[in-house]
Amino acid sequence: MKIFVVENNFPNAAQDIAVPVFSMRPETSLLRNNQNFFYPEFTKNIVCGVSVFIRLSRIGRCIYKKFANRYYEQIGVGIFFIAADVLQKLQNENMPADVARCFDFSLPISPETISKNEINCNNMNVQLVVNDKILQEYSTSQLSFDIDDIISHISQYVSFKIGDIILAGSPIAATKIETGYKLQAYINNKKMLDFEIE
């Protein structure tokens, strides 16, 4: 399984970038079934963002945008964690920053998904609720690159296999989390994720 995360899917970043910028995560970064996230010892500053994801249902490469919607059936929601202090240190030293994003269990994803036939993929309401307060909320209509744009672009470089996951990214700033926090994520007011930080 390959996991792709779009890094620049918000208007301020995309002003100078004409195409989606994506990174890849290892399968060990996934946190499934609403399991709790254990704050790792190597960082003291983790931030997170909420993003919809799609799971690829067909093999494909070099996909035209007009055909991209044929390559997925299900939509879920994920939360991507970033060790912000580690990221800053690595960037200051001009070092690769993968470990700040790709560490184990840094990517909780919803155990359930929604059929694309039941929802408007380009106008979904996405929420991150922390300790019963909405800290992130946006519509997928605000994304600079929609899901079909992303599928088409990534497929020019990397072939897709069934089960691969793409997170579309977030148009808003990351939120800092602490031990003891309760995180929930919603699509169109439907609770998709619910876990705690330990």
* pLDDT the model gives residue 4: 97
CA 164 to chain centre: 13
Can you give the pLDDT at residue 14?
46
Give me the pLDDT at residue 173, please.
78
Domain spans in the chain, listed from the N-terminal domain onward:
3-196
For residue 153, the model assigns a pLDDT of 97
Q: Which CATH architecture has domain 3-196?
A: Alpha-Beta Complex (3.90)
User: Cα 100–103–104 angle (5° rounding)?
Assistant: 160
List all residues 6 or more positions away from 16 whose beta carbon is below 8 Å from its beta carbon: none
Residues of the chain scoring pLDDT < 70 = 12-16
* Residue pLDDT, tens place only, 142-196: 998 999 999 999 999 999 999 999 999 987 878 999 999 999 999 999 999 999 9
Positions of E strands within 28-96? 30-31, 46-56, 72-83
| Distance set, CA 32 to CA 116, 121, 152 (Å) | 21, 23, 27
pTM: predicted TM-score of the whole model, two decimal places: 0.93
DSSP 3-state of 175: strand
